[in-house]
Chains A and B, each alone.
Chain A
Amino acid sequence: MKKRFILYVVLLAMALSVFGGCSSGSEETKLQVTFGEAGWDSMKFHNAVAMYISEVAYDIEVKEVSGTTAVTYGALLSGDIQVFMEIWTENLATYDDDIATGKIRELSINYGDNKQGLYVPRYVIEGDEKRGIEAAAPELKTVEDLKNYSDVFTDPEDTSKGRIYGAISGWEADKVLRSKYTYYGLDESYNYMDPGSDAALSAAISAAYERGEPIVAYYWEPAWLTGKYDLVLLEDAPYDESLYRDGKCAYPSVSVTVCVNSDFYETAPELCEFLSNYKTSSALTSEALSHMQDTGATSEEMVIWFLTTYDELLDQWLPEDKAGLVRESLAS
């Protein structure tokens, strides 16, 4: 109830501010922009970067509203949230329709080279001399190869079989992975473990990695986990749209796009131009996230580190004068 109350207050405040922005032509009122935050790390990171630039270069008052994917995306459609820095297009059933009917506008593909699938730590395949770990599964390359190594990834609760840490139930990826599991006959020698939540899945992988134990688990890139640890994605047949749902091939790279509400596009053309140029990559995002995880930096420290390290991005994203403003602020 309290959450909902806060949400209402926020929404009311936002509505009022939009009214204010429309009626007063005065230059004193700052434009207010709300960014949606649907609960995963990479999105929080891109929000932080874009919000920093909006504030410094475009003198905009920024705000971030968090919620589940469904709630925040709904708010983007209705205009309560104006900017979404990451939409995993494959994961939203209505996305294409919403673009077609003009409710939202796709400005840019933030990154498209992401991956998901079954990962194992590199030391499982190649060993690690420094840590004194022997290669437990030297011939392991593809998902199908897992069949030969069920004794390496023993399920502690059922030692006669191996254990695959699956995706989180309810994700599209989980349905596909379960089909894959039966398609390759892994169900005979492995148990499919539902980790229950993504926090639990990351905890299980990172604990296994720290101890140097073998583990095979579903995960995705970019994420701090895949940036921090050296994990190998097991190969699969090349992606084919007709085979994908049955788990017979690899996961496709999903386009992760930057979107804004259509009405907002009209009111803030300058900012939208910046967002149209906003492009990063999986590798960059991963690196930033693991840097954050390692140093425990706050999101502002993080943004400053990121934009100083990858200074050239500013030239790609922004006109000269705006880039100058950001550099000034970074230096201070």
Chain B
Amino acid sequence: MPDWITRFPKSLSINIKDPIDKAIDHMVVNWSPFFDVLKTGLRAFLNLIGFLVNLVPWWLLIIAVFALTLRMTRKRHKAVLYSLMLLFIGAIGLWDLMYQTLTIVIASVFISLLIGFPTGILISYGRRADAIVRPILDTMQTMPSFVYLIPAVMLLGLGNVPAVIATTIYAIPPIVRMTSLGIRQVDREVVEAATAFGSTRFQALVKVQIPQALPTIMSGVNQTIMMAIAMVVTCSMIGASGLGSEVVTGINRLESGRGVAAGAAIVILAIIIDRLTQSIFKKDGEAS
């Protein structure tokens, strides 16, 4: 039996590793002005978010969560539970780290929404745009994050800036998908009615389609936030500060307690944000 039947023939092999390495090396050396601008911009943005987050003292945040939960869910026991959970994060000494994590999460979510929302609207219109963007989104969600983390470090340095980029890559797909889905699900007749009454395409979009699609869009926002929180630990592998680095240190030093404490704080953060955003969106959904 010829060899090429049982084994993949060597003559068919192509080398994609070297060109990719070369391209990244080239970018590291020659594109640094561009990445410097990106870095400086992102860093300023991160500092701003960090500044705003740190304006909120610990007691105010707990009170705010209490009040918000009470207003949204009308359940006193939930409000008490969430406040106690937050208090717990502070009690185990992770309050400041939680703020650092929040800063990265908020910045990433903000950028994701800024890019993802318009993209979602765009691809809801055209089949071709959809055909192009969909595989890209699939790639972003399935590509193992370490694969793009290391090039991100080479181009942007270690720390919070590449962490925001990596988190954005991971967290952007849900908002794009859900926006496009939501808009497409709006009844064609409703849109036709709006057009018949003389609204332009833009007016129909802003005044009819988006409000109608809001519940779906908002669940996209919620998922985007959750994805961003899920990236916290991974990003600490490239030097992002916050709860994630505490987990990584705990694992590296075989200090299980440290890892579990920080892990629990991440879970609490995720639960509170998830429940609060969901209840807000439900409200919005009912109102529209």
Q: A residues touching B (Cβ–Cβ < 8 Å)?
A: 156-157, 165, 168-171, 193-197, 199-201, 203-204, 206-207, 210-211, 296
Contacts and interface: CB of A to CB of B under 8 A. Distances in A.
Nearest to A198: B237
Main secondary structure of the interface of B (DSSP, over half): helix
14 contacts: A156-B39, A169-B252, A193-B159, A194-B239, A196-B245, A196-B248, A197-B238, A200-B153, A200-B238, A203-B153, A203-B158, A207-B153, A207-B155, A211-B29
A169 B249 contact: yes
Nearest to B39: A156
A242 B253 CA distance: 23
Contacts of B254: 170
A211 B150 CA distance: 16
Nearest to B159: A157
Contacts of A165: 158
Contacts of A203: 150, 153-154, 158
Contacts of A193: 158-159, 239
Nearest to B238: A200
B28 A207 contact: yes
Nearest to B245: A194
A207 B245 contact: no
Interface string B2-37: 000000000000000110010001001100100000
Contacts of B21: 296
How many B residues are at the interface, by size bracket? 20 to 34
B211 interface: no
B180 interface: no
A169 B153 contact: no
B58 to A, nearest CB: 23
Contact of A199 (B25, B39, B146, B252): B146
Contact of B237 (A171, A196, A204, A207): A196
Closest 5 CB pairs of A and B: A170-B252, A207-B154, A203-B153, A170-B253, A169-B249
Contact of A169 (B29, B240, B248): B248
A156 B153 contact: no
A200 B149 contact: yes
B90 interface: no
A194 B163 CA distance: 14
Contacts of B153: 200, 203-204, 207
A76 to B, nearest CB: 19
Given A169-B253, A210-B29, A156 B43 contact: yes
A296 B237 CA distance: 25
A156 B159 contact: yes
Contacts of B158: 165, 193, 195-196, 200-201, 203-204
A194 B250 CA distance: 13
A203 B146 CA distance: 12
Interface string B154-189: 110111110000000000000000000000000000
B216 interface: no
A171 B239 CA distance: 16
Contacts of A296: 17-18, 21
A88 to B, nearest CB: 16
A200 B239 contact: yes
B249 A157 contact: no
Contacts of A206: 154
Interface in B231-260: 236-240, 245, 248-249, 251-254
A170 B253 CA distance: 4
Of A157, A168, A170, chain B has the most CB atoms within 10 Å of the CB of A157
B248 A195 contact: no
A204 B153 CA distance: 6
A210 B32 CA distance: 11
A211 B26 CA distance: 10
Contacts of B150: 199-200, 203
A204 B29 CA distance: 13
A169 B237 CA distance: 11
Given A206-B154, A210-B28, 8 more contacts: A156-B159, A168-B252, A195-B158, A195-B238, A200-B149, A200-B150, A204-B158, A296-B17
Of A194, A196, A296, chain B has the most CB atoms within 10 Å of the CB of A196
A152 B161 CA distance: 21
A210 B151 CA distance: 13
A160 B159 CA distance: 16
Interface string B25-58: 1001100100000010001000000000000000
A214 B159 CA distance: 17
B157 A197 contact: no
Contacts of B238: 195-197, 200
Contacts of B237: 196-197, 199-200
B252 A204 contact: no
A157 B242 CA distance: 14
A191 to B, nearest CB: 10
A194 B249 contact: yes
B157 A156 contact: yes
B160 A157 contact: yes
Nearest to B21: A296
Contacts of B240: 196
A210 B22 CA distance: 12
A211 B32 CA distance: 8
B2 to A, nearest CB: 23
